[in-house]
Amino acid sequence: MLKVQNLTVAYSDTPVFADVAVNFNAGKITGIIGPNGAGKSTLIKAMLGLIKSQTGTVSFNGHALKQFQKQIAYVEQRKDLDLTFPISVFDVVLTGTYGKLGLFRQPSKADRQRCLVALKQVDLVEFANRQIGQLSGGQLQRVFVARAILQDAQLIILDEPFVGIDLQSETAIMAILHQWRDEGKTIIVVHHDLNKVSHYFDDLVILNHGIVDYGPVDDVYTPANIERTFSADLSAVLFAKGGAQ
């Protein structure tokens, strides 16, 4: 279990959230939802130690999360990625083996073979030599999923992976997330499309400058929670009889 306790983050003087406590279960896909600017990306980055937190501890199976660096796959929100870096799809995916390679060891033939297998799994073999800046949103997300496959990460965190991607890529990625879930991995997805929440996630965290609620999706994804976090109008649309859920 990934356990966050007492986590407080502020950029300069402005607090984003204070004393956040939340758990993420292994063998579950947990969605994080909340309005723009609610602190979703900040929560992820603070959990991973990528930004400084004022207070708090984050543990994974009872040990500090930072001891598990090599077992974490994290894909930033697309707007934060530097896509001008000249690197091919194949080489990005191959970096998934780095955690397991010894210092100065070159990837082996077997690593390169595994890389191809992962690319096949996400249907990107023909794009292996393409620069990452020249991919569609869906292809790019699939590259990162292939990288996580190679990494064999235990904790997979994706920040808004489905923004601006095609439905086929979204479906393919969800299928792989389900497979990982069934293998007992811990999967966290920051998500913005409320329509698919109950369809995609086992557990749900609602964040709005603090935890509004978290737990099994059926308990948390309720009209009352959506109304107080987003708006009564949105809640009415989402939970209208016969409406999308």
Question: Contact positions toward ligand ADP, by CB under 6 A?
Answer: 11, 16, 34, 36-42
Cβ-based nearer residue to ligand ADP, 37 or 243:
37
**Angle of CA points 88, 91, 44, to nearest 5°:** 100
Cβ-based nearer residue to Mg ion, 16 or 73:
16
Q: The tokens of 205 are what? A: 């965290």
Among 20, 22, 24, 41, binds Mg ion (CB under 5 A): 41
Q: Least CB distance from residue 49 to Mg ion, whole Å?
A: 17
Which partner, Mg ion, ligand ADP, none, binds residue 16 by CB below 5 to 8 Å per kind? ligand ADP
DSSP helix/strand/coil, 38? coil
Could you give the count of Cα atoms lying within 13 Å of 167 in the half-sphere of its Cβ? 1
Q: Least CB distance from residue 132 to Mg ion, whole Å?
A: 21
Q: Least CB distance from residue 35 to ligand ADP, whole Å?
A: 7
Which partner, Mg ion, ligand ADP, none, binds residue 11 by CB below 5 to 8 Å per kind? ligand ADP
Distance CA 79, CA 15 (A): 22
Return the amino acid letter for 46.
A
Distance CA 14, CA 141 (A): 32
Cβ-based nearer residue to Mg ion, 77 or 121:
77
Q: Least CB distance from residue 37 to ligand ADP, whole Å?
A: 4
Q: Can you point out the beta strands (E) in the chain?
A: 2-11, 14-24, 28-33, 55-60, 63-64, 72-75, 155-159, 186-190, 203-207, 211-216
Region of 34-42, 82-90, 134-142, 203-211 interacting with Mg ion (CB under 5 A): 34-42
Cβ-based nearer residue to ligand ADP, 159 or 170:
159
Region of 38-46, 173-181, 200-208, 209-217 interacting with Mg ion (CB under 5 A): 38-46
Distance CA 228, CA 107 (A): 51
Region of 39-47, 123-131, 133-141, 221-229 interacting with Mg ion (CB under 5 A): 39-47
Q: Which residue in 245, 212, 226 sits closest to 40, CA to CA?
A: 212
Cβ-based nearer residue to ligand ADP, 38 or 146:
38
Q: Is 154 in the site for Mg ion (CB under 5 A)?
A: no
Q: The tokens of 18 are what? A: 């204070």
Burial of 96 (0-12, 13-18, 19+ CB in 10 A): buried
> How many chain residues are in contact with Mg ion, going by CB under 5 A?
2
Cβ-based nearer residue to Mg ion, 77 or 88:
77
- Which residues of the chain form contacts with Mg ion (CB under 5 A)? 40-41
